[in-house]
Structure formats: structure tokens, C-alpha cells
Amino acid sequence: MLRKRSVLKYYSFSLMELMVVVAIIGILSSIVTVSVMDRADDAKRAKVGADFRNIETSLNMFKLDMGRFPNGLDQLLKTENRKGPWTDKLPNDPWDNPYEYELKGSSVFILTSYGADKQPGGEGIDEDRQYSNRELR
């Protein structure tokens, strides 16, 4: 900020003062960026959980109508015996992969998202997420 001392003389910030301010702004912006990046991963994990619950709802409606769980998630999009479809669209996980669906027996299903690496196993953002209508063992 310029300060007027007399009619002809003006004072301004020194180069050192400007460098200190720029350094402080840089440090603060890097801290904010790191915090925001971690939140994006948390949001993706939360989306997987919400998608699992929505798919489970569609699977349960299918079972109520048909007396069994479907053999594949694509059956939720079709009409059978004048019933259905049970969902308009099957969501992909946040990494744009389809969810895996496995039917075990006649009453237990497992939904799986393989994470960012798109393959079984992994840690952090690559960690697999699974959901079942029964406790997994």
C-alpha cells in the first residue's frame, strides 16, 4: 500500500516484505491443497457405500417380485413376467468400473468394487470394497 508523505514522495513495500508475503501464501495454499486432495478419496469411498445400498434395494425389490435374487446385475434392467425393470441404470464405481456381483447359494449376494487399481487387493485408494446382505466370512 502506498503512503503519501508529502506531495512528491511515496513509500512502498520493500522487496523483502513482498517475498515474505508470497512465501506465506505459498505455504498456506500447499496445506489447503493437501487437505482437499484427501477429501476427494473419502468422497469416492462414500459413493461406493451409497451405490452398494442402492443396488441392494434394487436386488431386494427383484427378490420380492421374482422370489429369487437375479443371476446378474443386468437382470435388474430387464422386464420379466410383466415386472421390472428394478432400476433405470446400473452405476459404475467412482473409478468408472462396473460393480462385481456374485450370488452365493440362493439368498446371499456379494457386491465388490476393486478400487482405483481395478484389480483384487490393494491398500488405500486401491483397496477393494465389498458388501453383502449377510456377514462376510
86-104: per-residue pLDDT in tens?
999 999 999 999 999 999 9
pLDDT of residue 124: 83
Contacts of 81 (CB under 8 A, 6+ apart): 66
Give a yes or no: residue 107 inside a domain.
Answer: yes
Comparing CA positions, the residue from 91, 88, 90, 97 lying closest to residue 120 is 97
pLDDT of residue 17: 92
Q: What does the pLDDT look like over 8-50, one tens digit per residue?
A: 666 788 899 999 999 999 999 999 888 887 788 889 999 999 9
Give a yes or no: residue 8 inside a domain.
Answer: no
Residue 86: Cβ-neighbour burial (10 angstroms; 0-12, 13-18, 19+): buried
By residue range, what is the domain housing residue 58?
44-132
Give a yes or no: residue 38 inside a domain.
Answer: no
Give a yes or no: residue 137 inside a domain.
Answer: no
User: pLDDT at residue 137 above 60?
Assistant: no
* CATH number reported for the structural domain that contains residue 97 in this entry: 3.30.700.10
pLDDT of residue 6: 57
Cβ-contact 91, 51 below 8 angstroms: yes
Give a yes or no: residue 52 inside a domain.
Answer: yes
Domain count, the chain: 1
Comparing CA positions, the residue from 90, 93, 82, 95 lying closest to residue 59 is 90
Cβ-contact 67, 88 below 8 angstroms: no
Give a yes or no: residue 55 inside a domain.
Answer: yes
Give a yes or no: residue 32 inside a domain.
Answer: no
pTM of the model: 0.74
Give a yes or no: residue 14 inside a domain.
Answer: no
